[in-house]
Amino acid sequence: MASERPWTTGKPAAKSASNANKPSANRRNPAKSSAKTAKPGKPAPEVLATLQVDGPERIQKLLARAGVGSRREIEGWMEAGRLLVNSKPVTPGQKATVSDVFELDGKRLDVAAAAEVLRRVLIYNKPEGEVTTRKDPEGRPTVFDRLPRLREHRWISIGRLDLNTTGLVMFTTDGELANRLMHPSSQIDREYAVRIFGEVDDAMVERLRTGVTLEDGEAKFSDISAAGGTGMNRWFHVTLLEGRNREVRRLWESQGVRVSRLKRVRYGSIFLPSRLTVGKWEELDQKAVDLLSRTVGLAKMAVPQQTPDEVAAQARQQRKAAPVTNRSNRAAGSPGSKAGQGARKWAVADSKPQRSGGKARTDKTRG
């Protein structure tokens, strides 16, 4: 049944996380493996509450954990001479501590959050029109505007979505977790629902699966499945094992077709639940965070419990957030329908598209 498949997005986030793609032995119920107790005579794995960082470490790692930027961005600042430590230029690989003074373009950086590792993760249903950056020079809304406020730490985005892409964005307070989930060597798959305008045939699907040459090198989808639609407007589910800039759109455009809608529905083991409406967020529980940590080889760390006052403050913040008014939540009617009057929202099927011999279906019936 479709409801038993890990593709289903209507379950709570923790359940969705436990139904992630795992080795075949635990394919149907990977949660069983995570729920096993330690073997007799062996101590149970330690669950850390927080991790104190005392000694020097690479500057990229320290600043990324503080939420200043990604490691790649920080290396770029170093190479451009924009980053100073104790008033001296630095190079990639150089080490420092939180007691050192960091300056970017002459402005001092606050790195206090890097002294302690705290692991919290939340998921956010991004609408169109928001940029995945902390501050936008053009004054556009950002994905950070709606997130719960933190006193001593900062939210770090795990990957990015471009302005017109909607769907799942994850955030964490742990820079090391963010880096490992984003790094190409971790081979974490990202799944998207994409609507294509143009003719798509089997030969095109095969090219996209085996690889095409883009301006920044070879690229391909690790999986591609038809998911409905007719004529010149077709839905597909596609999966990537990396996160290059606008890669989904560029892959399809290389074949002479256009992406008219794009939504991320999964990042690794975490699915976007259907209950999470556009512009809303929710925090992952201990089980889901442990699954993410184990995926990238990190020790478990206890998710801090929120006080009733913190829960109430976050609920008020969500209620006061400005409503989303872009096309992500306008009525998806026919060309002659009145936009905004219907109750329908753009959505994709919660069940996994059917496959035929491992290839995407290219007929005109729904998948």
Domains, the chain, with CATH or none: 51-117 (3.10.290.10), 121-320 (3.30.2350.10)
Give the range among 11-15, 21-25, 30-34, 339-343 with minimum mean pLDDT. Answer: 339-343
- For residue 322, the 8-state DSSP code is P
One-letter amino acid for residue 87 of the chain = S
Give yes or no for residue 354 having a pLDDT over 70: no
Query: How does pLDDT run across 203-260, given as a tens digit for each residue?
Result: 999 999 999 999 989 999 999 999 988 778 899 999 999 888 899 999 999 999 999 9
Average confidence score pLDDT of the chain: 76
Give yes or no for residue 103 having a pLDDT over 90: yes
Averaged over 1-5, what is the pLDDT? 35
Q: What percent of the chain has pLDDT over 90?
A: 46
Averaged over 42-56, what is the pLDDT? 54
Nearest 5°: the CA angle 292, 297, 299 is 80
Give yes or no for residue 63 having a pLDDT over 70: yes
- Please give the span between the terminal C-alpha atoms of the chain, in angstroms, as a whole number: 15
Reduce the secondary structure of 182-193 to three states and give it as a string: HCHHHCCCEEEE
Give the per-residue pLDDT at 317.
79
Give yes or no for residue 41 having a pLDDT over 70: no
**Range 210-218, long-range pairs (CB < 8 A, 24+ positions):** 212/251, 212/254, 212/255, 214/247, 214/250, 214/251, 214/254, 216/244
CA 13 to chain centre: 14
Give the per-residue pLDDT at 184.
86
Q: What is the pTM of this model?
A: 0.66
Task: Name the nearest CA neighbour of 262 among 254, 274, 271, 252.
Answer: 252
Query: How does pLDDT run across 272-324, given as a tens digit for each residue?
Result: 999 999 999 999 999 999 999 999 999 998 888 877 777 787 777 777 777 77
- Indicate which residues carry an active-site annotation: 162
Give the range among 23-27, 155-159, 196-200 with minimum mean pLDDT. Answer: 23-27
- Measured between alpha carbons, how far is 238 from 193 in angstroms, rounded to an integer? 7
Task: Show the tokens assigned to 111.
Answer: 């790195």
Query: How does pLDDT run across 141-183, given as a tens digit for each residue?
Result: 999 999 998 877 889 999 899 999 999 999 999 888 998 999 8
